[in-house]
């Protein structure tokens, strides 16, 4: 099946989706004149990117991502500063149209913001999971060991107290059972 790809100054390119995603992107690049160094993607009229630039396998078919007879817009994917921690996890999308609609521009802007927030959340979670340094780890292990040692003593005393209460109901009537629970 075929799709329409809008780009430039209201130009339209007809493309066949019965091929690999990588082959489709290569064809679009060649027909529009985009250098191989630029990362491109297609998005729908609402600005929802199809994330074709993330496909790395020749077995992924373009028809799995794109609706037949659909109209898509060419956009450039821009990554953050190279070499930074977030260079490949945070990106923005810029439509490659001379006069993009406000809905398309706003949709692409929102998609970029969502991905940035998601990437920031992922980085925060990774920082929280960092391995503690040796000093912190040693003190944590020591405090856990002390807690377990004292916890065993309390659990035994509590068990013995419970046995006493069950074993001698007469003591409970005399108020002696209350002393066992205060320990």
**pTM attached to this predicted model:** 0.60
User: Do the Cβ atoms of 111 and 90 come closer than 8 Å?
Assistant: no
Determine the pLDDT at residue 163.
47
d(CA 95, CA 43): 9
Q: Which pLDDT value is given to residue 151?
A: 59
**What pLDDT score was predicted for residue 86?**
52
Q: How far apart are CA 46 and CA 105, in angstroms?
A: 9
**Within this chain, do residues 33 and 84 fall inside the same structural domain, yes or no?**
yes
Q: Could you tell me if 86 and 165 lie in one domain?
A: no
Using the 8-state DSSP alphabet, how is residue 84 labeled?
A: S
Are 34 and 70 contained in the same domain? yes
The helix/strand/coil state of 88 is: coil
Among the three residues 103, 128, 153, which one is the final residue of a domain in this structure? 128
Shared domain for 119 and 150, answered yes or no, is: no
Instruction: Name the nearest CA neighbour of 22 among 54, 70, 50.
Output: 54
We report the CATH number of the domain holding residue 21 as: 3.10.20
113 and 50 in a common domain: yes
Q: Are residues 92 and 10 in the same domain?
A: yes
* pLDDT (0 to 100) of residue 161: 47
Number of domains composing the chain: 2
Same domain for 119 and 150: no
Give residue 130's region: left, alpha or beta (phi > 0; psi -120 to 50): beta
pLDDT averages per 10-residue partition of the chain, 183 residues: 93 95 96 94 92 93 95 90 56 88 88 72 57 53 58 50 49 52 50
Q: Specify if 137 maps to a domain.
A: no
pLDDT digits (tens, 9 = 90+) for 115-159: 767 666 655 555 555 555 555 555 555 656 565 555 554 444 444
Q: Indicate if 52 and 116 belong to the same structural domain.
A: yes
Does residue 138 sit within a domain?
no
52 burial type by CB count under 10 A (0-12 exposed, 13-18 middle, 19+ buried) = buried
pLDDT at 20: 96
Domain range for residue 158? 145-182
């Amino acid at each position: 099946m075929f799709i329409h790809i809008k780009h430039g100054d209201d130009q339209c390119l007809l493309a066949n989706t019965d091929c690999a995603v990588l082959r489709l992107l290569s064809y679009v690049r060649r027909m529009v004149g985009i250098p191989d160094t630029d990362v491109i993607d297609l998005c729908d009229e609402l600005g929802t990117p199809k994330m074709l630039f993330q496909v790395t396998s020749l077995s992924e078919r373009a028809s799995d991502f794109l609706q037949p007879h659909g109209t898509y817009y060419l956009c450039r994917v821009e990554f953050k500063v190279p070499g930074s921690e977030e260079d490949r996890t945070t990106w923005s999308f810029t439509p490659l149209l001379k006069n993009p609609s406000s809905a398309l521009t706003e949709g692409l802007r929102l998609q970029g913001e969502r991905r940035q927030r998601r990437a920031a959340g992922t980085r925060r979670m990774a920082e929280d999971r960092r391995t503690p340094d040796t000093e912190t780890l040693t003190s944590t292990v020591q405090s856990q060991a002390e807690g377990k040692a004292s916890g065993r003593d309390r659990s035994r005393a509590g068990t013995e107290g419970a046995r006493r209460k069950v074993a001698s109901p007469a003591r409970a009537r005399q108020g002696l059972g209350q002393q066992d629970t205060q320990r």
